[in-house]
Amino acid sequence: MFLAGFEAFNRLVRLERVGGDSKGRCIIPPRCWRALIGGSVATVMMAHNHPSNIAQPSDADIATTRETVRFLRTIGIELVDHLIFIASGHFSFRSAELL
């Protein structure tokens, strides 16, 4: 998973990469959040791929996105989108109105 932090003028100021575990799950450790949001970050975008080539979000994707939105809101940062990439396209939580 990639976490991209943008400043108020939508310029990328920080990019964090988070690896998955042996079961393919991705847990974002606190050190990644500290590195990402420490500074001038105003918005965040999440993105990852689905090797299954199915773009629909899993229950874990939906739960992680909801938790991330709540967490970021408490510190005044907006999650602008969570993208899931596959070989033939992508899924956008924003376009699907899941944010």
Written in H, E and C, the secondary structure of the chain is CEEEEECCCCCEEEEEECCECCCCCECCCHHHHHHHHCCCCCEEEEEEECCCCCCCCCHHHHHHHHHHHHHHHHCCCEEEEEEEEECCEEEECCCCCCC
- Which residue ranges in the chain fall short of pLDDT 50? none
Whole-number Å distance between alpha carbons of 86 and 50: 6
Output the pLDDT for position 18. 85
